Amino acid sequence: MISVVVPIYNEEETVVALHDAMQETMNATGEEWEVVYVNDGSRDNSLFLLRQQQAFDPHIVVVELSRNWGHQGALTAGLRVAKGDAVVTMDGDLQDHPSVIPRMIERWRSGAQVVLAERRSRQDRGIKALLYPIFYRLLGKLADYPIAMNSGIFGLIDRKVADQIDSMPERNRYIPGLKTFVGFRTETIYYDRLARHAGEPKYTWKKLFRYGFDAIYSFSYKPLRLALLSGTMLLVLAAVLGSLLVSASFSASVRGQLWFEYAVALAAFLFVSGLQLTCMGFMGEYIGRIYDEVRQRPLFVIDNIIRASTVHKPYVVPQHRPIEVPEPAFVAVAAVATETTNAPSSVGMPSPAAA
Question: Which CATH code for domain 2-218?
Answer: 3.90.550.10
Is it the case that residue 354 has pLDDT exceeding 50? Answer: no
pLDDT in tens, 198-219: 656 655 666 666 766 666 666 6
For the ranges 89-93, 227-231, 239-243, the maximum mean pLDDT occurs at 89-93
- Is residue 147 very low, low, confident or very high in pLDDT (cuts 50, 70, 90)? low
pTM over 0.85: no
Q: Where are the domains of the chain?
A: 2-218, 222-295
Rounded-to-10 torsion of CA 337, 339, 341, 345:
10
Is it the case that residue 26 has pLDDT exceeding 50? Answer: yes
State the pLDDT at residue 139.
Answer: 65
For the ranges 15-29, 226-240, 262-276, the maximum mean pLDDT occurs at 15-29
What average pLDDT does the segment 222-233 reach? 70
The burial class, CB within 10 Å (0-12 / 13-18 / 19+), for 232 is exposed
The overall average pLDDT reported for the chain is: 75
State the pLDDT at residue 61.
Answer: 94
Comparing 57-71, 87-101, 279-293, the range with the smallest average pLDDT is: 279-293
State the pLDDT at residue 37.
Answer: 95
State the pLDDT at residue 128.
Answer: 63
pLDDT in tens, 257-271: 665 666 667 667 767
| Percent of the chain at pLDDT exceeding 70 | 59
